[in-house]
């Protein structure tokens, strides 16, 4: 007998996270290790009278591609993938990492180049506002989290299987504060950073686009960021881990970037394009069932009592205008001495809000 929690998660993804209608083509992309969850989603999509289009990720293919592809191949635009993206009414993406370090030795410039080429496809999925991404618990992810597989499964399902409509009501309180706000200041150890959110709208994240979910984010005004921040946890992008990151900003741009590990990769990503040196997102984690860092940004950016500031692309829903092939979330833990101010008013101290959420 399979884990009953898999069916519960599939039900949330298909019947809550995305709006599947009869006759829709739904893109169902998944890592092969997540076959059980993908199969349950597949069944539910069929029962809706829709048409699932399957894309399966197999371990080793990404590494082989980047190791062997020529520059011409890296720059080749995948037209078939674009056609599928345009035809799809919605998409479900299930990650199932077999080896989280698979791309560690790959030249970061190759990853950056390919990201630029495929950006239009990602944009096509995002603009339909009917997509969701999640992670299936695997041994590889459990190892990174320093847990047994059983412990990690409990961690994942506890974070995901919630009453998301109830969570949405709680997030509305924080959204209203951000919507009315003009200036944000974040202070903590090795951190004092400010930026404008004037005219921007907060976005509630309650299981519609990420699973697990649990954040409220907003796009900083592009040229307003000033100050410095040292991120608490390693930041992982394209299979590369960078730790001890400190960024200094002036007039919205990163003017200095250092890292204790992976600094060359960090600087390469910041230099990807005009928008990759600016902030595209300020997010506040409010999923208090996620309590520890596990080296998976889908979970880590939702940790209750943390914030994340993403370099690069801004999601347009909240009025963000920054464009980039990069969207790199980096997490700062505020549970020990951290503070968030909006227009000079303290709204969070030591990871706890000054109002009832």
How much is the pTM?
Answer: 0.83
266 in Cβ contact with 244 (< 8 Å)? no
* Tokens 């520890």 found at: 292
- pLDDT over 80 at 239, yes or no: no
> CA angle, corner 297, sides to 116 and 265, nearest 5?
50
Query: By CB neighbour count within 10 A (0-12 exposed, 13-18 middle, 19+ buried), where does 207 fall?
Result: buried
Instruction: Specify whether domain 4-160 bears CATH 2.60.40.10.
Output: no
Going by pLDDT thresholds of 50, 70 and 90, the confidence category of residue 327 is: very high
The tokens for 124 are 């096509």
The tokens for 280 are 């595209």
- pLDDT over 90 at 22, yes or no: yes
Going by pLDDT thresholds of 50, 70 and 90, the confidence category of residue 2 is: confident
DSSP string, 136-181: ---HHHHHHTTS-HHHHHHHHHHHHSS-HHHHHHHHHHHHHHHHH-
Residue boundaries of the structural domains of the chain:
4-160, 164-353
| Average pLDDT value over all residues in the chain | 94
Residue 212, preceding bond cis, omega within 30 degrees? Answer: yes
pLDDT at 215: 96
DSSP string, 276-326: TTBEEEEEEE-BTT--S--S-HHHHTTBTTEEEEEEEPPPGGGT-----S-
pLDDT at 162: 93
Is residue 183 classed as helix, strand or coil in its secondary structure? strand
**H or E element: which one contains 122?**
helix 108-127
pLDDT digits (tens, 9 = 90+) for 79-110: 999 999 999 999 999 999 888 888 888 888 89
- What is the rounded CA–CA span in Å between residue 3 and residue 346? 44
Residue 247, preceding bond cis, omega within 30 degrees? Answer: no
pLDDT at 325: 87
- pLDDT over 70 at 4, yes or no: yes
**H or E element: which one contains 111?**
helix 108-127
- pLDDT over 80 at 1, yes or no: no
pLDDT digits (tens, 9 = 90+) for 209-237: 999 999 999 999 999 999 999 999 999 88
pLDDT digits (tens, 9 = 90+) for 120-149: 998 888 888 899 999 999 999 999 899 999
């Amino acid at each position: 007998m399979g884990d009953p929690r898999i069916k519960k998660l599939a039900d949330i993804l298909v019947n809550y996270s995305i709006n599947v209608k009869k006759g829709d083509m739904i893109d169902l992309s998944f890592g092969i290790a997540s076959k059980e969850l993908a199969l349950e989603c597949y069944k539910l999509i069929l029962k809706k009278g829709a048409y699932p289009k399957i894309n399966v990720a197999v371990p080793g293919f990404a590494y082989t591609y980047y190791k062997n592809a020529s520059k011409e191949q890296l720059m080749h635009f995948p037209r078939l993938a674009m056609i599928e993206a345009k035809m799809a009414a919605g998409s479900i993406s299930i990650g199932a990492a077999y080896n989280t370090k698979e791309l560690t030795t790959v030249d970061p410039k190759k990853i950056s180049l390919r990201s630029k080429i495929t950006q239009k496809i990602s944009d096509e999925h995002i603009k339909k506002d009917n997509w969701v991404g999640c992670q299936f618990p695997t041994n590889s992810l459990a190892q990174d989290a320093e847990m047994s597989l059983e412990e990690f499964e409990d961690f994942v399902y506890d974070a995901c299987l919630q009453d998301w409509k109830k969570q949405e009501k709680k997030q509305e309180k924080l959204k209203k504060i951000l919507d009315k706000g003009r200036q944000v200041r974040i202070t903590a150890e090795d951190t004092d950073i400010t930026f404008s959110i004037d005219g921007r709208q907060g976005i509630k994240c309650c299981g519609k686009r990420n699973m697990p979910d649990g954040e409220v984010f907003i796009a900083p005004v592009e040229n307003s960021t000033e100050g410095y921040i040292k991120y608490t946890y390693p930041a992982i992008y394209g299979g590369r881990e960078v730790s001890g990151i400190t960024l200094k900003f002036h007039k919205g741009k990163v003017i200095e970037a250092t890292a204790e590990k992976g600094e060359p990769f960090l600087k390469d990503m910041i230099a990807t394009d005009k928008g990759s040196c600016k902030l595209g997102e300020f997010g506040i984690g409010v999923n208090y069932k996620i309590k520890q860092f596990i080296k998976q940004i889908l979970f880590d950016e939702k940790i209750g009592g943390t914030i994340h500031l993403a370099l690069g692309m801004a999601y347009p829903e909240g009025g963000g205008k920054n464009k980039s092939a990069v969207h790199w979330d980096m997490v700062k833990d505020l549970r020990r001495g951290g503070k968030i101010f909006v227009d000079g008013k303290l709204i969070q101290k030591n990871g706890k809000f000054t109002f009832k959420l």
